[in-house]
Structures are given as structure tokens and as C-alpha cells.
């Protein structure tokens, strides 16, 4: 929780209450079924379990081998598509070399985006806006894996098959 709390600028009181408003909160853990997306806006994604507010300032990149794509049935950005998007406006020789290296080594890219808070309503100024969700603590590996649609076990695989190039750049 510390990473998410630090990123969100939470005090120690906020951290101990798991609540962005500082008030105690109880969150029901999701039962493990599919938590369907009901609505998607520039501000939030509304799932069956509630509203998850987009963090447009932090992102990351995880590269995966074909072996991991096959093992986990991943369906993320193909490396060729990612490469074409990256190279379009790039003119730095070092960065171009890096892009070529990533393209030659990996099969897919998982773009890690983040969430700033959770609420049962679309109003994040209410007392129910907090960092603990039915899918875990915002910023924790398990939550981010759910949020970005990949199995958390992927993060425990060998560096030969998975490269976490960045987690929360911004």
C-alpha cells in the first residue's frame, strides 16, 4: 500500500484507514467472478463492483515472450504494433536502439495503466472514495494485474520471459 499511498500523497492516518478521506471503510472482496465493465469514460471505469478512477499521469510497460503469451493466453499489444507507435516520432539514436532491441526480443507489450481511487458512486469527493477496492489495494501487484487484465503470476516469471521495463512512470 505504501507505493500507492506515496503516489497519492496520503498521510499516515490515510494509510491506516485505507481511505482517501481518512474515515474507516469496509470493502467487500469481489467473489472472483468476472467484474464486467459497465461504462468507460475519460474519468472512470464503472464495473459491477463500483467506480475506478483513471490515473492519467502514471503508466508502465511490461514486455513478455511468446512462451508467456502461450502459457497465459495473453492478448495484449503485439510488439510490432507497439514498435511502430513508438518509432513514429522518435529520433534519439539511443532510444531507437532500445526500441529495436525490445522488438527483437519480445512478442507482446502489456501497457500498465493505474487507478487513483475507488468508490461505489461516480462522486470521488464523497466519503466512500478510497484506495482499497474489492480487488485489493490500489498499487499492489494483484490489483494492477486485475486492472490491466493479466494474471499476477506473470510477474513472478523469469526475466528471460518477462521484463517489467517500467511500472508507474509519469
Q: Could you list the residue range(s) of the whole structural domain that residue 68 is in?
A: 2-28+37-169
pLDDT for the residue 39? 92
What's the CA gap between 137 and 147, in Å, rounded? 11
Q: Give the chain's domain count.
A: 1
Contacts 24+ apart (CB under 8 A), 140-144: 140/1, 140/4, 143/115, 144/112, 144/114
- Give the residues of the chain that fall short of pLDDT 70: 1-33, 126-127, 170
pLDDT for the residue 168? 85
pLDDT for the residue 21? 45
Distances (CA, A) of 79 to 128, 155, 169: 39, 18, 20
pTM above 0.95, yes or no: no
Please write the tens of the pLDDT for every residue from 95-142. Answer: 999 999 999 999 999 999 999 999 888 887 766 788 888 999 999 999
pLDDT for the residue 17? 41
pLDDT for the residue 170? 63
Cell of 90: 522518435
Amino acid at each position: 500500500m505504501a507505493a500507492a499511498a506515496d503516489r497519492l500523497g496520503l498521510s499516515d492516518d490515510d494509510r491506516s484507514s485505507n481511505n482517501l478521506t481518512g474515515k474507516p471503510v469496509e470493502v467487500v472482496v469481489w467473489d472472483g467472478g468476472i467484474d464486467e465493465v459497465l461504462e468507460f469514460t475519460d474519468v472512470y471505469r464503472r464495473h459491477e463492483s463500483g467506480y475506478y478512477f483513471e490515473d492519467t499521469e502514471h503508466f508502465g510497460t511490461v514486455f513478455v515472450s511468446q512462451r508467456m503469451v502461450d502459457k497465459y493466453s495473453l492478448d495484449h499489444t503485439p510488439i510490432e504494433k507497439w514498435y511502430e507507435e513508438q518509432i513514429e516520432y522518435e529520433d534519439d539514436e539511443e532510444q531507437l536502439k532500445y526500441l529495436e532491441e525490445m522488438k527483437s526480443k519480445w512478442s507482446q507489450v502489456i501497457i500498465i495503466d493505474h487507478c487513483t481511487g475507488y468508490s461505489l458512486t461516480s462522486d470521488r469527493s464523497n466519503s466512500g472514495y478510497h484506495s482499497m477496492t474489492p480487488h485489493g489495494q490500489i498499487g499492489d501487484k494483484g490489483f494492477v494485474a486485475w486492472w490491466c487484465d493479466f494474471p499476477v503470476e506473470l510477474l513472478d516469471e523469469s526475466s528471460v520471459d518477462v521484463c517489467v521495463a517500467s511500472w508507474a512512470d509519469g
